[in-house]
Structure formats: C-alpha cells, structure tokens
Amino acid sequence: MSALLHTLSEMRKDRSLWVWLLFLLAGIAVTLRNVLMPSDGPFGHFNNYIIFQNAFYHWWEVKNLYISYPSEQYDLFKYSPFFAMCFGAFAWLPPKLGLLLWNLLNFSVLAYALQKLKLQPAQLLAFGLLLIQETITAGINSQSNALIAGLLILAFTSLEKDKWWQAAFFISATVFIKLFGILFFALFLCYPKWYRGIVPALVICTGMLLLPAISGGIRGFTMQLQGYMDLLANDHNTFVKYSVMGWLQSWFGLQPNKNLVVISALLLQLALTVHISLKNTQYASRAILAGTWLIWMVIFNHMAESATFAIAVVGVLLWFFYSQFPKYIKLTILVFVLAFTCFGPSDLYPPAWRQLIVIDWQLKVFPCILAWAVAIIELLKGSISSEAKQPPLPL
C-alpha cells in the first residue's frame, strides 16, 4: 500500500508519468478487446499477430515467407526476413500472451520515446492524450506502427545528442519492419557531423540484412530475399488507399502517375531538409522537420491503411507542439485531425458516415496533408527563430 501511495504521490508531482499509465492500460485494453470479442472467422481479431507468429516458424523451417498459407492465416506476410526472425521473441509463447506482450512493446516504446522530447510535463501528457486514439487503432490491428513511430522519435532524440550508432540502429530497425523508414536517414543532413552516421548505418543495415541467413543458409537467404523483392515490386499496383493519390482521385477526379507524385513530393521534402541543414536552426525546427518526414511516409504511401496513421499523427503533433503559427490555425488543423483522421474510422460515427469520411471523401488523410503543407510553409518561411516555448495546454 505504501508503494502505491508513493507512486501516486510521484505521479501528482510529475504529470508526464501518466503517459506511461495511459499507454500501458491502452495496450492491455486493446489486447483484452481482441481476445474476448467474438469472431466469425478462424483467426480471431488478431490475424496480423498470427501472421507474424507464423512467419517466425516459416523462417525457421526455411519455408518461403511470401507465399499464401490459407490454412494458417488470411493474408500475406509483408515484412522483412529480419522481422520474421526477431518475432521469435514472441512466437514461442501462447498466442494470447504473446499478443499482450507485443502490444505492450509497441505502446511502451512509443511512450518511452515521447518522454525524450523536449516538452513540459503537461504538454507531454497532452501529446499522449491526443495520440492515444490513433495508437489504439494500430493496436487493434496488432500492427507495428506505434513501434515504428517510437523508434523514429528515438532516432531523432539520439541525433540531438550526437549518438550516431544509436540513431542508426533505431532507423535501421524500422527499415527492416517497413521499408519506408529508410527515408528518415535524410534527417542526418541537419547535423554538422552527419558523415559520422554513414558507417553505423551501413554496418547495422548490413547486419540486419544478413542475420536471417543463420537459419536457412545461402539458399534460404536468397529465396527469402527474392520473395521480399517480388512482394515489394508487385505491391505497386494501380489501387490506392488513404493517400495523397487517393485524395486527388476522390476530390478532383485526378489519377496522376503515382511515381511522378511520389518523386515530386520526395524532392520537395529533400529540398526542405537541405534548406534546414544550411541554416542555424533551433531544436523546434528540427522537430517539425522530423514530423514532416513522419507524415510524408504515410500520406505518400499509396497502400497506407488506417492503422498506419499512428505514424502520421505523431508527425502532426510534433508540428503542433513546436510550431509558432497562430494558435487558431494550429487548433483548427488539430480538430480536423482528431475528428477525421483519429476518430473517422471509430464507432463515434455511424457505419454509413465512416464509409463517407474514410473512403469516399478521403477525410482520414486530408487533415494530415493539410498539416504537412502548413508545416512545410512554416519551415520555408523560417518563422521558427527560437525554441518553441508554448505554455502547457489546459487539461
């Protein structure tokens, strides 16, 4: 009892500790929801976890990770062989216990990463509260997006401390979960000694690429690598989900070449990064730039799913808390993000409205597009002249 009272006393002193409680309870609640909810299918409400679990055994048995196993799961494995190997940490456990630990890993890494940002305790708690709904969406789908967002924030905070090996490890880990994390290496350019990150990045990425060969040998390694490359090549079809391309199609009837859209936006994002790197910028500018990369990874991914937006919303909140734009502009965009990006797919709306908001009108992605564009304008204008020191938000 005394330990509990001491903990509560500490939490009253430091409201940032409530972020840990918030995210850990959310991870437990999401797991209980998926385990206890009745299911019509054979794989329950955590098929993605089952896919990850099966992928470890397929890797261990030197089976092709990237073919269909309809009797075991109802979708393909779409991650790297390294991820399949690492999932052995959970695969040996009973599925329900493994699911709980997997969710807690995702939620706790993100909570830990948020603690590393330069935010006041009340701001940190507000950040967590604003983010929790989108994190829950990722957790309900047993996805890795909260983990990816947390790792990329840790990479940013490591760069701020000149810890190149640490930053390279965090980014590389995301690359071998979902490939688009590789874009975050561009953030190295914002630091004077950026070249110190080259060797760590090459060494760690090479190690993560080759480590899965310890089970299957050269034959198994080449089979898995070829399967992964084929999967990535075939994934670039004409279908678009929640993305800039989907928004252009929904609002304006435009179907531009996806490669052209993505390359143009990537060049813009890289030019912005170089622009920031050539200026003597403050922490706030670099935090917002990191946020624009997180948003970019999602809104220009033509196959982005609803659960992927946990990454983009972290980026939006980085802009919101460090931006010096007028408060009414920031709050208006934040309301749109909460109303449509975060709660658009939720039971807050009737099913017919959810269809309109998320799919027909592409309102899940649009607020993130708007936030990305405004953040870019702010960085190009150079309006962030000093550390952003917002007062804590009223809670």
- pLDDT tens-digit series, residues 218-249: 888 899 999 999 888 877 655 578 999 999 99
User: Does residue 225 share a domain with residue 264?
Assistant: no
d(CA 166, CA 152): 11
The 3-state DSSP class for residue 10 equals helix
Under DSSP, is residue 242 helix (H, G, I), strand (E, B) or coil?
coil
Let me know if residue 5 belongs to a domain. no
pLDDT band at 387 (very low <50, low <70, confident <90, very high): very low
Residue 392 has pLDDT above 80, yes or no: no
How many domains are contained in the chain? 2
Dump pLDDT digits (tens) for 19-63: 999 999 999 999 999 998 877 666 678 889 999 999 999 999 999
User: Is there a domain that residue 10 lies in?
Assistant: no
149 with 124, same domain: the answer is yes
Identify whether residues 231 and 256 lie together within a single domain: no
Question: What's the pLDDT score for residue 110?
Answer: 97
In a domain, 9, yes or no: no
Q: Does 3 fall in a domain?
A: no
**Residue range(s) defining the domain that contains residue 377:** 238-395
Same domain, 377 and 242: yes
Both 113 and 169 in one domain: the answer is: yes
Q: Give the integer Cα–Cα distance in Å for 170 and 155.
A: 5
DSSP string, 115-147: HTSS--HHHHHHHHHHHHHHHHHHHHTT-SHHH
pLDDT at 168 over 90: yes
Q: If you average pLDDT over residues 135-157, what whole number do you get?
A: 96
Query: What mean pLDDT value characterizes the chain?
Result: 89
**pLDDT value, residue 74:** 83
Q: How large is the average pLDDT for residues 122-140?
A: 95
pLDDT at residue 2, as a whole number:
55
- Do 247 and 230 share a structural domain? no
Q: Is residue 1 part of a domain?
A: no
- Domain end point (choices 211, 235, 259): 235
Question: Do 124 and 231 sit in the same domain of this protein?
Answer: yes
Domain co-membership, 323 together with 230: no
Q: Are residues 230 and 254 in the same domain?
A: no
What is the C-alpha to C-alpha distance for residues 289 and 275, in angstroms, rounded to an integer?
Answer: 11
The answer to whether the CB of 110 falls within 8 A of the CB of 135 is yes
* Largest Cα–Cα separation, the chain: 64
| Whether residues 133 and 250 fall in one domain | no
pLDDT tens sequence across 175-201: 999 899 999 999 999 998 899 999 999
Domain boundary among 177, 203, 235: 235
Note the pLDDT of residue 213. Answer: 85
* pLDDT band with cut points at 50, 70 and 90 for residue 386: very low
Q: Is residue 159 part of a domain?
A: yes
Asked whether residue 171 falls in the same domain as residue 310, the answer is: no
pLDDT tens digits along 278-326: 886 789 999 999 999 999 999 999 888 889 999 999 999 999 999 999 9
| 31 falls within a domain | yes
In a 13 Å sphere around the CA of 173, the CA atoms on its Cβ side amount to 20
252 and 347 co-located in one domain:
yes
